[in-house]
Amino acid sequence: NAGVTQTPKFQVLKTGQSMTLQCAQDMNHEYMSWYRQDPGMGLRLIHYSVGAGITDQGEVPNGYNVSRSTTEDFPLRLLSAAPSQTSVYFCASSTGAVTEAFFGQGTRLTVV
């Protein structure tokens, strides 16, 4: 009954460091996506994947990298963290791009 699992829940990085946010789902969903949520703004799409081996950019992809080697996992990599990447990151999965989406609990990232 896990659904979408994100790790870690909290992270503090120094400017210039790199890290990977993990996302795993156990619902056999083809579509997975990453969003960031900033105060006063809606969630914005960073990257998405329509299936293993296929990824594409969303609205705000700069500074982030993704890969999808399995159906279950969709990690988000920050290549060189910047203070502007301080945000709450959500991973979501669904059977398709326009079906009901299931979200993880989020990762709160602070870049100092």
Partner 1 sequence: KQEVTQIPAALSVPEGENLVLNCSFTDSAIYNLQWFRQDPGKGLTSLLLIQSSQREQTSGRLNASLDKSSGRSTLYIAASQPGDSATYLCAVSSDNDMRFGAGTRLTVKP
The correct pick among 24, 66, 101, 111 for binding partner 1 (CB under 8 A) is 101
Q: Which tokens in the block code for residue 38?
A: 């900033």
The correct pick among 69, 97, 110, 112 for binding partner 1 (CB under 8 A) is 97
Candidates 21, 27, 5; CA nearest to 104 is 5
Please identify, using beta-carbon distances, which residue of 28 and 41 lies nearer to partner 1.
41
User: Which parts of 43-62 interact with partner 1 (CB under 8 A)?
Assistant: 43-45, 48, 50, 56, 58-59
Q: At 83, phi and psi to the nearest 5?
A: -55, -30
Candidates 24, 15, 39; CA nearest to 76 is 24
The answer to whether 98 contacts partner 1 (rule: CB under 8 A) is yes
Angle (nearest 5°) at CA 89 between 38 and 100: 100
Q: Total binding residues for partner 1 by CB under 8 A?
A: 26
Cβ–Cβ under 8 Å, residues 64 and 77 = yes
String of contacts with partner 1 for each residue 8-47, x by CB under 8 A: -------------------------x-x----xxxxxx--
Residue 9, number of CB atoms within 10 A of its CB: 10
The binding site for partner 1 (CB under 8 A) comprises 4, 33, 35, 40-45, 48, 50, 56, 58-59, 90, 92, 97-106
